[in-house]
Amino acid sequence: MNFKTIKRPSDILEIISKIGFLPFFANDIPGFSIEENIAPEYWFSGDTDGAWEWKGQLAKSGECVYGKLFRGKAGFVSREWLPDLANYRRDGYDFEGFYEDGYANYKDKGVYDEIEKRGAVLSKELKRRLDYRKGGNKGFDTVIARLQMQTFVCVADFEYMRDKYGREYGWGVAKYTTPETIFGEKFVLSAYDRKPQESKARIVDHLQRILPNAANEQILKFIK
């Protein structure tokens, strides 16, 4: 698939809507990322907003989910393809069943339960509430990345520091939520009438059509 040069948030959303899956960073499939298709002035720039600032806007658009969804790295999945990805990644479980059958540990459950209870919560607040600080619990980044890869958690938005003039600066602090909070449980679980491997096959077939130059092994590695 030929990508248009990305110059605005709507360009990214258009690509996500068309192809369903869009990594933020370059990966094993050449050309399949925002990084490789964005106009250079919108990748890193101190003068204008670009991809790094747009990701929060896109995450709260209601048209996609954003998070560490592809081999522990950031990217987007469209609303349309979220149910199949969730069915495959969660192996047909809800979180409680996933935990009870030993696929999640007590730290995963603690973080997930806090996010679900609050609807959306900043990472720094999560760390404070669950004692992920010096001398306390360890491994927060690993836990939150794992929950995103399993599709139980995603990013709702980013919150930025502001200078004395009210201008945002620095790296945004992630606010985490669940896909169910954004789209509703009924929608997120709407592919659960299929076996998880059927959802996997649907995703693989779709990506093979839109990425004809990608090897099957690359696609399987990408969605794993």
> What tens digit of pLDDT does each residue of 94-131 get?
999 999 999 999 999 999 999 999 999 999 999 999 99
Indicate whether 1 pLDDT > 80: no
d(CA 79, CA 83): 8
Q: Please tell me the predicted confidence (pLDDT) of residue 48.
A: 78
Mean pLDDT of 163-191: 88
Indicate whether 162 pLDDT > 80: no
CA 200 from centroid of its chain's CA atoms: 17
Mean pLDDT of 43-47: 76
Q: Please tell me the predicted confidence (pLDDT) of residue 13.
A: 96
Q: Residue 26 carries which DSSP code?
A: -
Q: Please tell me the predicted confidence (pLDDT) of residue 18.
A: 93
Q: Please tell me the predicted confidence (pLDDT) of residue 171.
A: 74
Mean pLDDT of 140-162: 94
d(CA 191, CA 184): 13
Indicate whether 181 pLDDT > 70: yes
Indicate whether 170 pLDDT > 80: no
> Domain segments of the chain: what residues?
9-223
Q: pLDDT band for position 91 (50/70/90)?
A: very high
- Percentage of residues of the chain with pLDDT beyond 70: 95
Indicate whether 93 pLDDT > 90: yes
- Percentage of residues of the chain with pLDDT beyond 90: 88
d(CA 18, CA 16): 5
Q: Please tell me the predicted confidence (pLDDT) of residue 169.
A: 64
DSSP, collapsed to helix, strand or coil, labels residue 57 as helix
Task: Give, to the nearest 10 degrees, the angle between helix 82-89 and helix 196-210.
Answer: 130
User: Alpha helix locations (H) across 51-195?
Assistant: 51-59, 82-89, 95-100, 106-118, 123-129, 140-149, 179-183, 185-188
Indicate whether 186 pLDDT > 80: yes
Which pTM does this prediction carry? 0.94
